[in-house]
Structure 1
């Protein structure tokens, strides 16, 4: 039943993906046609009815049907992120009575995350270096590009301070600092583990809350995901004009190729070498997780489906998945790291800075630190990129112009970046579960 349900959901999501892409590109062509033929007002009316962000300034009379549907769906998933992460990690830790086993799982998880991220950074550096020497990262044309506001650069080491919150309640009121929730869950789980039977009532409460969360997510994902995916994709591509992509075409093409190559080559290699399992069943079953991440552009919103797929279809123990996936959502960002390295090189080269091997190495280190602290939300990677640029000193007018261009056109890339991030989390779950003999290979190969 679970396998059949998973296949049906994957089929519906694939149909929604294809239809959304077709409708989105159709809207791009319609927009270009209407604007070039002097009917810009007609497109403005269509945009107000279907695609307009109704929370934007001056959009008081817009309907924004597709925007509303997409946001309600994403909000309903983000609503459950904090309680889900806290409860799942707490239960995973408090049910592992062997502290040595818990230490092994933690160390293997973090080491695997670190290993794959470093490989991603090296891969991105090689791709960026090749494109740089081919002379494809040329100067950005300043015409028709409006500078968008980013954020003030900050020390990446602030991530360490933010892990430990100074207020227990405030940590649960913000989805932006999931690392703090992970810390609180680990501390709570270890304390419950030490107290054993004295916390039976609390453990039972968490188990019941976990069941409620699971039921809610199953309903939302199974009933509404395909329709929301169609609306999210159609709107994303409809609001972009062709002209906005031209100035940074080399950057866009380079990142997309790099992300696709890493997605279809790196993860199968990791599974074959680290877990010693056939990667084909994984890639087939994880496809809907990647599609969902692509559609929502949010690792956090994809976490519920990722956990469901990893445990029910890939055979990973719930203890492993409950610990690895929420942690991976916050610190395992292979796709984000690749995007940030190539983006930093694009900004540097296009704005006149010289790129050396040493500067590439520093960019990679900053990207590693910055990607760990990237919020699991749409557009966060491009915003955190400013920290890397500031750390490298890429702050002249041309660099800020190139950065503003990335902010303007990076949403489609962020969608693909999210696919890599969530697939990386799932593959690490399989690898760790296999090493701990907590992978049901009968379910995995089914």
Structure 2
């Protein structure tokens, strides 16, 4: 136990150092980029970018090295490789181990309830603060120098309901974006295994358990050995490829969204944990910090899931059966950070495009955001893409709105990183609430 705690503290310390170094290096590189480009030395920056940061999959990048891009993508892909087997096996085993159907229904009800409470808190904060900024006219800016783009085809947000039940099992397992369908299949298989009994499903259960064990070993190795390096590479590259000119036109949106996200991360979630469990919220905040850092660096809830499960079970004391059910489900439907961003972005676009937003329309915005965020894939950049669904539902699709939306797509990467941190921390907070209410929380571990 002592060795495990030392290893955990060492990983958290290394991730913290990587975060600070990555941010510092990224900001210095951003300043270097601006200095070189403004002094007529664009060719020097182009060479640096070609060697270190260039996306080698982009058109025209056939001769670039993109070392930081390659390292970052190898790490992200290593994590994405096991998203489907991890979600499927962990939820199947969690359901299969809860033989009492009433207990399963109770846990499911509490999980959804915890998610909804957090989402309601996030939406109230975002709608209240965002509407005040919108009413003050701070979002009424002129967006120039961008071409309008749709980014995604508008769709009815209720389509997410249809995506829960897949029509093809093989197609579902071949895509990392069909997580809701995978959750449905895992829950269904777990319930069927319960119905058939231990004797008739022992071989299948053993197979699923062994696959899950292999996934856990692989993920532990990737996270502990390469996680800190990847955090530095991902952060420094993200800030290096952004110019100041991207941020200036929408600084109000960036600053407002950042403040709201940080407020909910450092105040909202600890309050939720304290109010729902009567536990020390500072213990939660200190232990979950490395998960937030990891989510911030990777900008992917799915990539952060393995570390979140490890931390929530081993350090926060949540029973593995609860964590294995709540966390993968939360990764799919509990998107509080995404909801905050989408509300503020919608009001920003409405202000830029000259749309009047009434209180009634604000309620509609909140409901659309809640539904759309449930269907947002747990992948980098997905929140800004799904945003177009909300704009279409509200009718915010004139030329000015598309220009403002284009700006959101251009500048939203740092925001996406921060909102991912919120999403993953919210999943852990909900699992603590569920575990505490079910008497399945090891408070000795939590308070250690």
- The normalised TM-score by structure 1 is 0.99
Deviations 1:82-137 (A, max 9, x none): 00000000000011111111111100001111111111111100010111222211
The alpha carbon displacement at 1:70 in A equals 0.3
Aligned counterpart in structure 2 of residue 418 of structure 1, from 396, 417, 420: 420
Per the alignment, residue 271 of structure 2 pairs with 269
Aligned to 2:172: 171
- Change over 3 Å in CA distance of 1:290–1:423 after alignment to 2: same
Instruction: Work out the CA distance in 2 between the residues paired with 1:345 and 1:218.
Output: 41
Taking the aligned partners of 1:76 and 1:420, their CA distance within structure 2 comes to: 23
Partner of residue 49, structure 2: 47
SS in 2 for 1:286: helix
Residue 121 of structure 1 pairs with residue 143 of structure 2: no
Q: Deviations over 1:377-431 (max 9, x none)?
A: 0000000000000000001100000000000000000000000000000000100
Paired with 1:327 and 1:372, the residues of 2 have a C-alpha distance of 10
Residue in 1 aligned with 2:372? 370
The answer to whether residue 325 in structure 2 is matched with residue 336 in structure 1 is no
Residues 288-307 of structure 1 aligned to structure 2 (within 5 Å): 288-307=290-309
User: 2: CA distance between counterparts of 1:235 and 1:427?
Assistant: 30
Structure 1 position 155 matched with structure 2 position 156: yes
| 4+ residue segments displaced more than 4 Å | none
Residue 147 of structure 1, CA deviation: 3.6
Give the equivalent residue in structure 1 for 2:363: 361
Residues 54 and 149 of structure 1, relative CA distance in 2, 3 Å threshold: farther
5+ residue gaps, structure 1, are none
Q: Unpaired runs of 5+ in structure 2?
A: none
Aligned twin of 2:349: 347
Instruction: Note closer, same or farther for the CA distance 1:181–1:53 as it changes in structure 2 (3 Å cut).
Output: same
Say whether the 8 Å CA contact 1:148–1:407 is kept in structure 2: no
**Aligned residue among 72, 75, 80 for 1:73:** 75
- Say whether the 8 Å CA contact 1:109–1:428 is kept in structure 2: yes
Match of residue 429 from structure 1: 431
Within a 5 Å distance, the mapping from 1:84-233 to structure 2 comes to: 84-142=86-144, 144-196=145-197, 197-233=199-235
Instruction: Give the distance between the partners of 2:4 and 2:329, measured in 1 at CA.
Output: 25
Distance 1:258 1:398, change over 3 A: same
- Preserved CA contact (<8 Å) 2:318 2:435: yes
| Alignment correspondent of 2:64 | 62
State the 1:149 CA deviation: 4.7
Tell me if structure 2 keeps the 8 A contact 1:232–1:296: yes
Asked if structure 2 preserves the Cα contact closer than 8 Å seen for 1:51 and 1:65, the reply is: yes
Q: Render the CA deviation track for 1:36-66: whole Å, top value 9, x for unaligned.
A: 1110011000000000000000000000000
Written as runs of structure 1 = structure 2, the 5 A alignment for 1:309-328 is 309-328=311-330
* Structure 2 SS opposite 1:344: helix
Aligned length: 445
Over aligned residues, Cα RMSD in angstroms? 0.8
Given that residues 150 and 388 in structure 2 are in contact (C-alpha distance below 8 angstroms), is that contact kept between their aligned partners in structure 1?
no
Are positions 1:246 and 2:248 aligned together? yes
Q: Distance in 2 between matches of 1:147 and 1:110?
A: 38
The 5-angstrom pairing of residues 392-403 of structure 1 reads 392-403=394-405
Question: Matched residues in 1 for 2:4 and 2:286: separation?
Answer: 15
Give the whole-Å Cα distance in 2 for the aligned partners of 1:23 and 1:147.
33
Give the structure-2-normalised TM-score.
0.98
> Contact 2:331–2:427 at 8 Å: present in 1 too?
yes
Distance 1:374 1:91 in 2: 25
Q: Report how far residue 148 of structure 1 moved.
A: 4.4
Q: What CA distance in whole angstroms lies between the structure 1 residues aligned with 2:245 and 2:306?
A: 37
